[in-house]
């Protein structure tokens, strides 16, 4: 990523040390019934099958109007590439337009066209399914998570009709590797990326040589090959965030594609290695938090860089958002979860800077 000259920065002293996760009771989840409406247009009925009313964030989920990943699409036992966006939202102060409430037994419907974010012009048989964790909301803040699971939907696609569906993401003319006309935002992003690079380097070193217990807390294993994989991705993020003359990503300071909303901090378009900051990135986030597992600009950018396959392939997904959801994932899932890297980097920074010198 070409942005500005990188220099080493001193990181501030942390006041809090991250603790081990605490187990919480998991409520019954959401049932997702998938069906084919018309060729590549799908219908999802999301039903609350639990015993309590639930309120959840629908960003990156069914009900989100942006081209986010709602289902995984497989053909010949291989998942097809997703060409939409991953949205990164705030964990506190979430506005009502970003969440949905379902009473027990209540359901919502969502229709979407998978051809807008998946190349299906070859047609043929495909398999669709969806599962994961959706964040619960209480008093405008993420308070837990809710599992969801769909049926496996096997369908046939008319390739000619699919090829006529417009893609959601349109190309932008690229003048430089980074577009940032606002000087204040450019300066703030420059400072944040310096810290992103430093955090990623600290975390990469910890993944290789640091505490096995702390690594297990986030990645659910101490296997040497997994530690090397995590370290390699974090090394790649450190290089990308710290580079001033080369790199794989294009980083926009402002909403170049129009997918920022009231609770969105930033988003990534993985297939294009594009990262976009929203206004909240500057107005809501501190540059670097001294609190455990809280959001800041440095770890938000780190999260986004892990999504980009040009930084390290394959790019990560959003399988568990926030500490509770991320630490509930399996090891295989955690290694592919963007927030796990951001949380681990934050946790290692808090732990190491809190140690007596």
Write out the binding residues for Zn(2+).
303, 307, 318
Token duo for residue 194: 């310096």
Looking at the DSSP bridge assignments, the partners of residue 41 are 38, 113
How far apart (Å, rounded) are the C-alpha atoms in residues 300 and 193?
10
- Residues 202 and 348 sit within 8 Å (Cβ to Cβ): yes
Out of 240, 304, 324, 348, pick the active-site residue: 304
Q: Which is it for strands 264-269 and 86-89: parallel, antiparallel or unpaired?
A: antiparallel
Helix (H) or strand (E) run with residue 44 in it: strand 41-48
How far apart (Å, rounded) are the C-alpha atoms in residues 349 and 313?
25
Helix (H) or strand (E) run with residue 196 in it: helix 183-209
List the one residue out of 71, 65, 69 whose CA is nearest residue 83.
69
Q: How many CB atoms lie within 10 A of CB 20?
A: 9
Token duo for residue 140: 């405008």
How far apart (Å, rounded) are the C-alpha atoms in residues 354 and 14?
6
Can you say whether the dihedral through the CA atoms of 224, 225, 226, 229 is positive or negative? Answer: positive
List the one residue out of 65, 62, 165 whose CA is nearest residue 115.
165
How far apart (Å, rounded) are the C-alpha atoms in residues 38 and 112?
10
Per the annotation, the verdict on 324 as an active-site residue is no
Query: Which residues are known catalytic residues?
Result: 304
């Amino acid at each position: 990523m070409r942005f500005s000259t990188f220099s080493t920065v001193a990181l501030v002293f942390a006041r809090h040390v991250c603790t081990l996760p605490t187990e919480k009771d998991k409520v019954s989840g959401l049932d997702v019934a998938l069906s084919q409406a018309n060729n590549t247009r799908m219908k999802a009925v999301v039903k609350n099958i639990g015993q309590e009313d639930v309120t959840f964030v629908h960003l990156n989920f069914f009900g989100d109007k942006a081209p986010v990943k709602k289902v995984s699409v497989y053909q010949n036992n291989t998942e097809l590439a997703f060409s939409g966006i991953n949205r990164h939202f705030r964990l506190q102060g979430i506005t009502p337009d970003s969440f949905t409430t379902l009473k027990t037994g209540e359901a919502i419907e969502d229709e979407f066209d998978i051809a807008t974010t998946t190349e299906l012009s070859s047609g043929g048989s495909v398999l669709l399914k969806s599962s994961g964790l959706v964040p619960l909301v209480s008093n405008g803040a993420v308070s837990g998570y809710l599992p969801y699971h769909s049926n496996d939907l096997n369908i046939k696609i008319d390739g000619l009709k699919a090829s006529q569906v417009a893609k959601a993401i349109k190309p932008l003319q690229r003048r430089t590797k980074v577009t940032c006309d606002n000087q204040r935002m450019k300066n703030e992003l420059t400072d944040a990326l310096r810290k992103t690079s430093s955090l990623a380097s600290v975390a990469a070193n910890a993944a290789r040589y640091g505490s096995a217990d702390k690594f297990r807390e986030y990645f659910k294993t101490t296997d040497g090959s997994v530690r090397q994989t995590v370290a390699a991705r974090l090394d790649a993020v450190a290089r990308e965030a710290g580079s001033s003359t080369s790199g794989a990503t294009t980083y926009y300071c402002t909403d170049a594609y129009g997918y920022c909303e009231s609770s969105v901090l930033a988003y990534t378009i993985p297939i294009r290695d594009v990262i976009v900051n929203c206004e909240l990135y500057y107005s809501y986030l501190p540059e670097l938090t001294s609190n455990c597992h809280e959001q800041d600009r440095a770890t938000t950018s780190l999260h986004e860089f892990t999504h980009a396959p040009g930084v390290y392939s394959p790019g990560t997904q959003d399988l568990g958002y926030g500490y509770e959801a991320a630490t509930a994932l399996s090891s295989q899932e955690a290694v592919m979860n963007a927030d796990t890297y951001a949380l681990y980097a934050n946790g290692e920074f808090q732990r190491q800077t809190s140690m007596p010198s």
